[in-house]
Amino acid sequence: MDIRFRLTVLSFFQFFVWGAWLITIGTYFFGNNLGTVEQFGAIFSTLAISSLIMPAVTGIIADRWINAEKLYATLQIAYGALLWMVPEMKTADELYWLILAAMFCYMPTISLSNSISYILLSKSGHDVIKVFPPIRVWGTIGFIAAMWVTNLTGSKANAHQFLIAGSVAIGLGFYGFMLPACKPSNLKTENRNIYSQLGLDAFKLLAKYRMALFFIFSMFLGAALQLTNMYGDTFLDDFKNNPLYGPESFVVKYSTIIMSISQVSETVFILTIPFFLKRFGIKKVMLFAMLAWVLRFGLFSFGNPAEGLWMIVLSCIIYGMAFDFFNISGSLFIETNTDAGIRSSAQGLFMMMTNGIGAFLGSKTSGWAIDTFYMNGNEKNWHNIWLGFAGYALIIALLFLLLFKEEPMNKSATIQH
């Protein structure tokens, strides 16, 4: 079986098992009155807390001691088993600890799946820059498929979404065990210091000005991504409380499907990444992503299910550029600017900065800010919430424009692993 097809299957289900609940957990949480916005922010921050530790640690393990595909498979099975326990959680505190445990298993599989793909494609003689994006696009399709399944089965406001994700994750884990071996690339440890033997060389990247800036701005953009994931579906669902629209509004009934337009857009923009990176370079591509976040949030601020529906739809389309030009291009930037022996570790570091530190700041700060400044009684002031997020993204874009220096991508790194 062609390795590209096998990796396509891996990519599809990698994000299916996340998309089944990530966008709708807010609807589930608030619809079942499990707690406050700040408590929900704490639960969502578990994605960040796990990313602070696990991707970097598992990247080191995969670089030095355990086959990446075996580590990946084990984590997926554990993640699926934990999701099956969600229906038993009756309070925000109980849900917090369970989701934290699940995220400790799931979040490192994102960077591990990238590393597995890069390793196997390189071994097969493929050009990673050209071949990986069309494979990764199926991850987005998997995310979309999961969102549709959750919405159309009536699971967006109940715990069935977690049972769907958990069942598929367990199956994905067994599939992972059947992938070709991705052996550790750094087996020889003689004549190395303790720092190198522990696989911490990737952290030396932070000592380089350009790489340090890249990781810092990745952290800021990671915070922006969390805002969409946390509040997007809840924002649309809350229009049911407005007498102008009500619970029978198309946008309210099919909020998750509307949000999935964002992922459909991803499938288009991800295929343009090789062209844009070659034509404009990493700085301009990431700047495009930051400006797209400004538009994403700004359009949400003024959108509504009637005459403003076009703004909601356009915001979802723009999301494809905002996400792909940052997340996928950033991963490829790491792949082509690091040595082969630390690439899994470097991918883990990238995940730590984006879905770790950045996501933690975005989750905790936004939950506190909304509860403190953007509540009208029990109603959220969505107009000002999204305007505030847009202002944040604009400031980050201007700082990036001034501080980050462009250099050519190291194309030689696309072949050797």
Question: Cα dihedral sign for 364, 328, 235, 43?
Answer: negative
- Predicted model pTM: 0.69
Q: What is the pLDDT of residue 175?
A: 93
pLDDT of residue 98: 94
- Residue extents of the structural domains in the chain: 3-182+204-414
**Whole-Å CA distances, 295 to 193, 270, 397, 401, 410:** 48, 19, 12, 17, 31
What are the tokens at 241?
């409380």
pLDDT at 185: 66
DSSP bridge partners of 380: 375
* Residue written as token pair 């792909």: 324
Residue 44 near residue 349, CB atoms below 8 Å: no
119 token code pair: 């390793």
Residue 127 has a pLDDT of: 73
What are the average pLDDT values for consecutive 10-residue runs of the chain, which has 417 residues? 87 93 85 80 82 71 78 94 90 91 90 84 77 82 89 85 94 91 62 50 74 85 79 85 82 85 83 83 86 94 90 93 83 74 70 78 82 78 90 92 70 37
- DSSP type of residue 354: I
60 vs 105: CA distance, rounded Å: 15
Residues 124, 3: contact at Cβ < 8 Å?
A: yes
Tell me, which fold does domain 3-182+204-414 have in CATH?
A: Growth Hormone; Chain: A; (1.20.1250)
Q: What is the pLDDT of residue 54?
A: 74
